[in-house]
Amino acid sequence: MDITSLSNTRVKEWAQLLEKKHRDRNNKFVVEGVHLVLEALQSGANIECIAYDMDKGIPSELKQVSSNDAEWIGVSSAIIGKCTDTVTPQPVFAVVRKQSVDLEQLLSIKNSLVMVLDNVQDPGNVGTIIRSADAAGADGVILGHGCADLYNPKTIRSTMGSFFHLPVVEGQLLEILPQAKQSGARLVSTSLQAEYTCYEYDFSATTWLLVGNEAQGVSEPVKKLVDDSLIIPMRGQAESLNVGMASSVLMFEVMRQRHYRSK
């Protein structure tokens, strides 16, 4: 099947998915480019269709992968430009149906590592933290109120495919975090006034790492739920780390303690 008209009904629907209100209403989102479409295919994501540049054909990297019954549609380069977010669009995108994530399953994991974001507004930061969580072997990520939309094209691009590798839950932290504490999790955050560094802390038990807004940090109601505050020591003259870098430092210290301690 090929589509060439920009006024085609399906093209209009795809283009609308660039806006959050339409992603929410239709329960779908767009992933752009060969790498992310390949990640979606390999992870078994619920793909509605894959649109590729009809003049270039289906990218060779995607031809060998099972499409999970996804519909393949040849489209014009103008349609790809209309339905994607990048300045220089890649020759393929996929429309993916959102899938619900089971919070209870995440709460039940023993000695878990979960990254919690409170009002982190930059899509690049949110995506980077999801990517680092995947790399460090975290069990999941929680996005609280005020965070950049998980399905924003910039967020998804910044995850570099890690979006498809671990559960990401969007929800109300003041409801989720008390449940985590009841399940035995320690809520750990950072503070410049903290007594202990992240390298002195014992991360062996269930740990939920909490980071806050780029400018204001963790909100006051959420901060009251924190069990332990730590400081990331710095030897140089930089005033601070951004939230993505700080999250990565913390998660990789947890990974080091749990998996790379010297015998």
Confidence of residue 240 (pLDDT cuts 50, 70, 90): confident
Contacts of 250 (CB under 8 A, 6+ apart): 188, 190, 198, 209, 230, 232
What's the rounded Cα separation, in Å, for the pair 165 and 118?
A: 21
* pTM for this prediction: 0.94
Q: What residue spans in the chain does CATH classification 3.40.1280.10 cover?
A: 103-259
What's the rounded Cα separation, in Å, for the pair 91 and 230?
A: 45
Structure token pair of residue 187: 């809520």
Residue with more model confidence, 175 or 89: 175
* Phi, psi dihedrals of residue 195, rounded to the nearest 5°: -85, -30
Helical H runs in the chain?
A: 9-16, 20-26, 34-42, 60-63, 77-83, 103-107, 123-135, 153-159, 173-182, 220-223, 243-259
Q: Residue 145 has what pLDDT? A: 87
The full DSSP string for 79-115 is HHHHH--SSS--SEEEEEE-----HHHHHT-TT-EEE
56 CB burial (10 A radius; 0-12, 13-18, 19+) = exposed
Mean pLDDT of 129-140: 98
**Per-residue pLDDT reduced to its tens digit, 191-205:** 988 989 999 999 999
Mean pLDDT of 242-251: 96
49 CB burial (10 A radius; 0-12, 13-18, 19+) = middle
pLDDT at 263 over 60: no
CA-angle at 170, arms to 164 and 176, nearest 5°:
125
**Per-residue pLDDT reduced to its tens digit, 57-95:** 999 999 888 666 889 999 999 999 999 998 888 999 999
* Torsion angle of the four alpha carbons 12, 17, 19, 20, in this order, in degrees rounded to the nearest 10: 150
Q: What residue spans in the chain does CATH classification 3.30.1330.30 cover?
A: 2-97
Q: Residue 252 has what pLDDT? A: 98
Regarding the domain delimited by 103-259, which CATH topology (the fold level of the hierarchy) does it fall under?
Answer: Alpha/beta knot (3.40.1280)
Mean pLDDT of 93-110: 94
Q: Residue 66 has what pLDDT? A: 64
**Is CATH 3.30.1330.30 correct for 2-97?**
yes
DSSP run (H or E) holding 187: strand 186-190
Query: In this structure, is the dihedral angle defined by the CA atoms of residues 88, 90, 91 and 94, taken in order, positive or negative?
Result: negative
What's the rounded Cα separation, in Å, for the pair 118 and 171?
A: 10
Confidence of residue 138 (pLDDT cuts 50, 70, 90): very high
